[in-house]
Structure 1
Amino acid sequence: MPTFPDELRARRLEAGLSLAELAEKAQYNRSYLHHAESGRRPASEQLADVLDQALDARGDLFAAWERDDKERRREAATHRTRAAALAISRDLCAMADLDISELHAGVEATAVDYLATPPAPMMDRAHALRAEAAERIRSGHHRPQDRSDLYVTAGQLSGVLAYALLDMGDPQEALHHVAAAARCAEYAGDAELAAWVAGTRSLICRFMGDYGLALDAIRDGYQHVGSGTGTGEARLRCGEAQCLANLGDSRAANSALDGAEDARGRIRRPDSLGGLFGFSAAKQSYYAGSSLIWLDGGHDAERAAREATAAIGMWRAGPDEERSLDDERLAHVYLATARVQLGDVEGAAEAIAPILSLPLEEQISWIIKRADRLASMLSAPRFQGNRTAEETVQAIKELAA
């Protein structure tokens, strides 16, 4: 039996229609139809129904889509079963040999790899490692002196899961994982982890648009920072700046960013864990740029553009283990946003261009969310008739689709 892409192409050619003509007839984007016909992306049920009618296929085209959809679901279920079974087998084989130092090594590698890996595989890895840590805590399969370290490990892995679920667009589920991380930090008596968790809880609240609650989380986190100990204070102050900027307080937001720079200058001891748990100078500039774009432009937009540009430059020039690809991509969105606020449409299009060709698995929820705001800004009356603005808006819509 023919697949949906094969049936679609045959029906279109039989009708003597080009892709553009079929797109106009079905009132769908041409690129979307191209992906559906080439098999690069599965068509939606709605598209299959519309195309069946547009090509007068009398249900045959839709039936081909249903067969493909049934096969995709079967393959996905098989894949999930195989992956789960394989994970358990690997865990059983490794359980006898895995000691605390190997767990720590797994967490360190996961924290670093997260910066350059899509969230879904990181979620799987963190889940497997945390299950081992939790089992050792429950069963007592550890030395008494290792119990605190196991709680720190479980808390760090809960933090990785929180980030992964947030990047996958589920803040509510992320909050459950960050609550577990907070409890683990409490049991371990680890102030550094507790400060990081407070900053992450604030990040999730900001994603949800609750800036008051996000600010409360930041201020709660300040009790856990010590003078010169890691980047916790700098990260929290940048989070505070994001909250204040979204609440419209330009002066306080800039003051918080200046405070973050002062806090970085006081650091005497590095973070105990890098990667996702670190807060590099590039990340700090990225936070500054992502904060100030929520204000009214002018000097705030100028600083946002400088900071976003600096972040991108530092990530490109710095070591690979500190390069956060998702944040680097978001910095391009923030730079584009700041340039739109300054009226530089051509500069904005140049900044966002690398993001518009990302494959589906690398389009984290933050990118879609922030690019959508950029599209709304470019659709404003002041840019009507600007071809670059119109083309960029269309490209962003295709990315979201």
Structure 2
Amino acid sequence: MTTFPERLRQLRLLAGMSMPEFAQRVHYDRTSLHHFESGRRPTPGDVAEKADEVLGANGELVSLWRREDLDRRAAAAAHRTRAAALAMSRDLTALADLDISELQEGVEATAFDYLGNPPAPMMNRAHALRGEAFERLRSGHFRPTDRTDLYVAAGRLSGVLAYALLDLGDAEEAHEHAIAAGRCAEFAGDSELAAWVAGTRSLISRFQGDYGRALEHIQDGYQWVGAGHGTGEARLRCGEAQCLANLGDSRAANSALDEAEAARERIRRPDSLEGLFGFSRAKQSYYAGSSLIWLQGGHDAERAAREATAAIELWQAGPETERSLDDERLAHIYLATARVQLDDVEGAADAIQPILSLPEEEQISWIVKRADRLAGMLGAPRYARNRTAAETVAAINALAA
């Protein structure tokens, strides 16, 4: 789509108007107008209106300017939220009147709503809720019995922020929020939250491609899991499998996945909070599929395809409140990847189909990264004459664009 600066220059040249003449007509200095045309500086609204009039654009330039001005304002607002949220995470690491039960209800609702909503609005909500907990902790306006619950609430909301920033593609900010979540878990003495944070810090390191550090976080997390207490161990075992698969160790990765299955069988007490903080059967299959696609195909790819298919089917058949849409979409990409490894291009194209019409705001960073890898595999020389492969690559590239 043509931008305002590009259209401004096009219309001026079509009118046969030199920059000095244009500057004289719109009553503005030509150096600034040159910056406006090149996009180096945003154009003031009154200059856009005058340029529209002088160039006979019939409102086209004004309309373009207004659309881009709205985008700039939205980006600035998101930046302010991120900066404020990051500053608060740093304060919580160094470390109101809202009723604690209402705050806890907000945390629980956010944990479940995160599964089916884009990360940006969830980031805004988590930041606002955490502000309430933070103010109470900082001011000391709470009952002694509420202190632990406030730290747990602040820790979980920091965890939501970590996930949101990772889904938005910023691993460094996500890591700082995860550190804050870990400190809150420490202050609260909450081993379940501490294990979840260790798994999340490992996830962030895996996103950055640092599998050695990711394994260290997993090993740290094992100290917090108790036999039969929630899904923490199963999640950590699956994270370990992802690390080992990326490091090329098929046998150890499959063993870790088998140990995750055993850990699930030992569960005697459910997670205290599910949603983003739980690890469902579907999520476990999803992790298994996302692990084994990094190996060399064969039996690993066959198991990856089975696990990804199971995850998709479980989410589609289960309650809407437990359906993790982003993960379900990623499972389609993992299934397609496994099928390419099994040389099933038609099956891969069928698996990726639901992803190819996603609106931009729903294309989280993981989807873009994993779809790009799939496009690279389908673009290999062996598929140079495969029409389905070429069409799928083009569709993936169009999605990224």
Q: Structure 2 CA distance, aligned partners of 1:82 and 1:172? A: 17
Gaps of 5+ in 2: 15-37, 41-54, 82-95
| Structure 1 residue 60, shift from structure 2 partner | 9.4
The equivalent of 1:164 in structure 2 is 164
Residue 342 (str. 1) matches residue 342 (str. 2): yes
Q: Structure 1 CA distance, aligned partners of 2:331 and 2:288? A: 10
For residues 120-135 of structure 1, the aligned pairs below 5 Å read: 120-135=120-135
Q: Structure 2 CA distance, aligned partners of 1:103 and 1:151? A: 12
The question of whether the paired residues in 1 share the 8 Å contact of 2:238 and 2:287 is answered with yes
| Structure 1 residue 74, shift from structure 2 partner | 5.5
SS of equivalent to 2:358: coil
The equivalent of 1:268 in structure 2 is 268
Structure 2 residue corresponding to 1:77, chosen from 73, 79, 86: 73
| Structure 1 residue 70, shift from structure 2 partner | 6.5
The question of whether the paired residues in 1 share the 8 Å contact of 2:4 and 2:65 is answered with no
The equivalent of 2:25 in structure 1 is none
Q: Structure 1 CA distance, aligned partners of 2:275 and 2:167? A: 16
Q: Structure 2 CA distance, aligned partners of 1:397 and 1:79? A: 24
Q: Structure 2 CA distance, aligned partners of 1:283 and 1:375? A: 25
Q: Structure 2 CA distance, aligned partners of 1:301 and 1:79? A: 41
RMSD of aligned alpha carbons: 3.0
Q: Structure 2 CA distance, aligned partners of 1:278 and 1:199? A: 12
- Once the two structures are superposed, residues 312-361 of structure 1 have per-residue CA deviations (whole angstroms, 9 ceiling, x without a partner) of 00000011111100000000000000000000000000000000000011
| Structure 1 residue 73, shift from structure 2 partner | 2.8
The equivalent of 1:309 in structure 2 is 309
Q: Structure 2 CA distance, aligned partners of 1:66 and 1:169? A: 33
| Structure 1 residue 69, shift from structure 2 partner | 4.5
Change beyond 3 A, Cα 1:207–1:349: same
The question of whether the paired residues in 2 share the 8 Å contact of 1:4 and 1:64 is answered with no
The question of whether the paired residues in 1 share the 8 Å contact of 2:289 and 2:335 is answered with yes
| Structure 1 residue 68, shift from structure 2 partner | 2.6
Q: Structure 2 CA distance, aligned partners of 1:190 and 1:316? A: 33
The equivalent of 1:235 in structure 2 is 235
Q: What is the letter of the counterpart of residue 247 of structure 2?
A: L
- Once the two structures are superposed, residues 125-167 of structure 1 have per-residue CA deviations (whole angstroms, 9 ceiling, x without a partner) of 0000001000000001110110011001000000000000000
The equivalent of 2:141 in structure 1 is 141
Q: Structure 1 vs Structure 2: percent identity of aligned residues?
A: 73
| Structure 1 residue 382, shift from structure 2 partner | 1.0
Q: What is the letter of the counterpart of residue 108 of structure 1?
A: E
The equivalent of 2:182 in structure 1 is 182
Q: What is the letter of the counterpart of residue 309 of structure 1?
A: T
Q: What is the letter of the counterpart of residue 397 of structure 1?
A: N
The equivalent of 1:213 in structure 2 is 213
Change beyond 3 A, Cα 1:164–1:265: same
TM-score, normalised to structure 1, is 0.81
The equivalent of 1:99 in structure 2 is 99
The equivalent of 2:355 in structure 1 is 355
The equivalent of 2:287 in structure 1 is 287
Q: Structure 2 CA distance, aligned partners of 1:60 and 1:378? A: 48
Q: Structure 2 CA distance, aligned partners of 1:284 and 1:140? A: 40
Q: What is the letter of the counterpart of residue 164 of structure 1?
A: A
Change beyond 3 A, Cα 1:385–1:108: same
Q: Structure 1 CA distance, aligned partners of 2:65 and 2:389? A: 37
Change beyond 3 A, Cα 1:384–1:105: same
The equivalent of 1:397 in structure 2 is 397
TM-score, normalised to structure 2, is 0.81
The equivalent of 1:53 in structure 2 is none
Q: Structure 1 CA distance, aligned partners of 2:138 and 2:217? A: 29
Gaps of 5+ in 1: 15-43, 47-58, 86-94
SS of equivalent to 2:371: helix
The equivalent of 2:27 in structure 1 is none
- Once the two structures are superposed, residues 217-252 of structure 1 have per-residue CA deviations (whole angstroms, 9 ceiling, x without a partner) of 000000000000000000000000000000000000
The question of whether the paired residues in 1 share the 8 Å contact of 2:4 and 2:68 is answered with no
- Once the two structures are superposed, residues 61-91 of structure 1 have per-residue CA deviations (whole angstroms, 9 ceiling, x without a partner) of 9x96697347523564389679999xxxxxx
Q: Structure 2 CA distance, aligned partners of 1:261 and 1:334? A: 20
Q: What is the letter of the counterpart of residue 243 of structure 1?
A: C
| Structure 1 residue 204, shift from structure 2 partner | 0.3
| Structure 1 residue 45, shift from structure 2 partner | 6.5
The equivalent of 2:318 in structure 1 is 318
Q: What is the letter of the counterpart of residue 72 of structure 1?
A: E
Q: What is the letter of the counterpart of residue 323 of structure 1?
A: R
- Stretches of 4+ aligned residues off by more than 4 angstroms: 2-5, 63-67, 78-85
Q: What is the letter of the counterpart of residue 198 of structure 1?
A: A
Q: Structure 1 CA distance, aligned partners of 2:78 and 2:219? A: 45
The question of whether the paired residues in 2 share the 8 Å contact of 1:3 and 1:65 is answered with no
Change beyond 3 A, Cα 1:223–1:65: farther
Structure 2 residue corresponding to 1:68, chosen from 64, 70, 89: 64
State the aligned residue count.
Answer: 346
Q: Structure 1 CA distance, aligned partners of 2:211 and 2:75? A: 40
Q: Structure 2 CA distance, aligned partners of 1:165 and 1:400? A: 19
